[in-house]
Structure 1
Amino acid sequence: MNDLFQNQASSLESPAARLAGITPSDTADLAFPTRAIAVGGEGFVSLVTIAGDKGRVYVVPGAPFPIRARRVLAAGTSATDIVALA
């Protein structure tokens, strides 16, 4: 496929170019840092940001939550069908 935007610099305001399903883990980092996370089933997502901060955010389907995360924790996560967007 010919990408008409391949020569354009990507920024945090650009649309996501990658996505991957997330299996929450208390020990393993994601394959890549996120730009946002999306869920299929609403609930809390416990995470570690790329800066190392830990916290929980409430995410609803249809509204990707913009956050730079490096890990989604199993403990404290109740959302389902979590997807990383980058």
Structure 2
Amino acid sequence: MTDPFKNRAISLSGPSRDLAPVTPDDNNDLPEIALALYIETAGTISFVSVSGTTRSVKVGNYAILPVGIRRIHATGTTATGLHSFTVQ
């Protein structure tokens, strides 16, 4: 099988290389900054953006939130089935 990602430089504008499940945590950042989030079940997401700003947004079922995120807070987050778009 050929790997179209093998010689491709990591890009913030290209496809992510993987999805990783996310467990919201008030005290710890994600293992790597998410390029975006995929959300399975509607609710609110409280997060710290890559710029360091704390935000709270409502999202619908099966939503994609296209913003760089460093932390997702457990407190204030009611949406479930969260997955980060990753580059690694």
How far apart in 1 are the matches of 2:30 and 2:9? 23
Q: How far is 1:12 from its partner?
A: 1.7
Alignment of structure 1 residues 40-51 onto 2, 5 Å:
40-51=40-51
Q: Counting strand residues as a fraction of each chain, which structure ranks higher?
A: 2
**SS in structure 1 opposite 2:40?**
coil
Give how far 1:75 is off. 1.0
Equivalent-residue separation in structure 2 for 1:3 and 1:59 (angstroms): 34
CA contact (8 A) 1:38 1:61 kept: no
Amino acid at match of 2:81: D
Distance change in 2, residues 1:10/1:61 (3 Å): farther
Q: Secondary structure at the match of 2:65?
A: coil
Q: What does residue 60 of structure 1 align with?
A: 60
Q: Does the Cα contact within 8 Å between 1:22 and 1:82 map onto a contact in 2?
A: yes
**Partner residue, 1:35:** 35
Shift of 1:31: 1.0
Give the CA deviation at 1:16: 1.4
Question: Which stretch of structure 1 is more off in the superposition, 23-32 or 58-67?
Answer: 58-67
Q: How does 1:1-86 map to 2 (within 5 A)?
A: 1-86=1-86
Quote the sequence identity (%): 36
**TM-score, normalised with respect to structure 2:** 0.86
Unaligned runs of 5+ in 1: none
Q: Report how far residue 18 of structure 1 moved.
A: 2.0
RMSD across aligned C-alpha pairs, in angstroms? 1.4
What are structure 2's unaligned runs of at least 5 residues? none
Q: Deviations over 1:34-75 (max 9, x none)?
A: 010011101111001122110112222333111111100011
